């Protein structure tokens, strides 16, 4: 055993003995401490007669107290220097050259043309190249999110919409894209929250498209609640246009009004060959809440009664009806999903 360890043990024994003598240690603990002194003395071969040789003018306690003063002084001297040193600045984003910005804008315009032609994979490729040139532009991520949604890549659409919002938390268009992607992926509650945030970002209660998205998502959330709570629980009434599994609206109520199942249903093949009706049906599939508005239109109900009687109305006459034409324009008009 090294002499340093033996001398340190001597200092500890001396400290414990002094603590017994000066009353630091309570009377009920003295016996235990004396046993500890005896054990240390035997284990480390402590020779108490060497105390004055090892600690001629000070005790182990005084040595430690002197160390504490030196330590605290060193810490005090280091503190001002540390506080005056500026915090390291976060790494700055690489500046985008004007040339790269111009190229990125051209790629975005190219992507928009692909979207208009429903070539979503080519659009995604163009937007991706634009992002590689300028990753600070929120519009590129938002537009790519729309293209991902159109190609049913909803998880990627969510990621891009969230990235656009990281760049600009007030970007309403990205909330719309996020709401659509979340709804299509089955997260109606998340969609409702996204649309609500979008309405707040737009201000003045939000746009018609954003409010419709919110109401559609809320209707699905209410329906989900009705499926798990007792019947006497107060939940919003189920919408006639609620979407079924997979996002397809429930057309059973419309089929019933048109006389389905009883031989009075018109030939759906010829009906869907009409481009206006086909486009309206496409809108129904992308907007489950649209069917609710359709069912409340008196002209549509009158048309349904004629279907029940086995009478197929002239499609041109139908679209000449002002209320039906206005309804069709609402369904087939812009829905806030256009690329920028």
Q: Which residue has the higher pLDDT, 335 or 275?
A: 275
The DSSP call for residue 229 is: S
Q: Please name the residue that has the structure tokens 């030196």.
A: 70
- Does the structure show a pLDDT above 80 at 274? no
At residue 53 the predicted structure's pLDDT band, cuts being 50, 70 and 90, is confident
- Does the structure show a pLDDT above 60 at 249? no
C-alpha to C-alpha distances, 183 to 152, 218, 287, 336, nearest whole angstrom: 12, 10, 10, 16
Provide the pLDDT for residue 242. Answer: 45
pLDDT one-digit tens code per residue, 140-190 = 999 999 999 999 999 999 999 999 999 999 999 999 999 999 999 999 999
- Does the structure show a pLDDT above 70 at 306? no
- Is the distance from CB of 125 to CB of 157 less than 8 angstroms? no
Provide the pLDDT for residue 90. Answer: 46
Provide the pLDDT for residue 130. Answer: 93
User: Which range is least confidently modeled, 22-31, 98-107, 253-262, 324-333?
Assistant: 253-262
Six-digit token string for 100: 């790269």
Q: Identify the structural domains of the chain with CATH numbers, from first to last.
A: 3-63 (1.20.5.420), 98-226 (1.25.40.10), 250-332 (no CATH)
User: Which range is least confidently modeled, 24-28, 62-66, 308-312?
Assistant: 308-312
- Is the distance from CB of 37 to CB of 15 less than 8 angstroms? no
- Does the structure show a pLDDT above 50 at 256? no
| Mean pLDDT to the nearest integer, 283-299 | 59
Dihedral of the alpha carbons of 212, 217, 218, 224, in degrees to the nearest 10 = 150
Provide the pLDDT for residue 314. Answer: 58
Residue among 208, 164, 169, 213 at smallest CA distance from 190: 213
């Amino acid at each position: 055993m090294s002499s340093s360890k033996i001398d340190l043990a001597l200092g500890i024994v001396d400290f414990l003995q002094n603590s017994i003598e000066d009353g630091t240690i309570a009377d009920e603990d003295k016996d235990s401490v004396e046993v500890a002194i005896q054990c240390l003395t035997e284990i480390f071969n402590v020779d108490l007669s060497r105390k004055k040789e090892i600690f001629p003018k000070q005790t182990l306690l005084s040595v430690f107290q002197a160390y504490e003063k030196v330590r605290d002084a060193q810490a005090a001297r280091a503190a001002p220097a540390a506080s005056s040193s500026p915090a390291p600045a976060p790494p700055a984003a690489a500046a985008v050259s004007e040339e790269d910005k111009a190229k990125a804008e051209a790629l975005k315009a190219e992507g928009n043309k692909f979207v208009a032609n429903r070539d979503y994979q080519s659009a995604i490729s163009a937007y991706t190249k634009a992002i590689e040139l300028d990753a600070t532009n929120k519009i590129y991520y938002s537009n790519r999110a729309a293209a991902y949604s159109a190609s049913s890549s909803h998880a990627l659409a969510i990621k891009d919409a969230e990235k656009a919002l990281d760049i600009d938390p007030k970007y309403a268009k990205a909330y719309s894209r996020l709401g659509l992607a979340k709804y299509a992926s089955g997260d109606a509650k998340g969609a409702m929250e996204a649309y609500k945030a979008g309405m707040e970002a737009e201000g003045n209660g939000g746009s018609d498209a954003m409010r419709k998205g919110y109401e559609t998502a809320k209707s699905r959330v209410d329906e989900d609640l009705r499926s798990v709570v007792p019947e006497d629980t107060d939940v919003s009434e189920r919408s006639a246009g609620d979407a079924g599994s997979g996002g397809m609206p429930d057309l059973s109520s419309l089929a019933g009004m048109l006389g389905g199942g009883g031989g009075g249903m018109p030939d759906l093949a010829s009906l869907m060959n009409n481009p206006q009706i086909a486009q309206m049906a496409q809108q129904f599939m992308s907007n489950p809440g649209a069917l609710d508005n359709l069912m409340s239109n008196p002209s549509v109900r009158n048309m349904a009664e004629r279907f029940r009687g086995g009478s197929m109305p002239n499609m041109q006459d139908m679209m000449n009806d002002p209320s039906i034409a206005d309804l069709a324009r609402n369904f087939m008009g812009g829905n806030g999903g256009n690329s920028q």
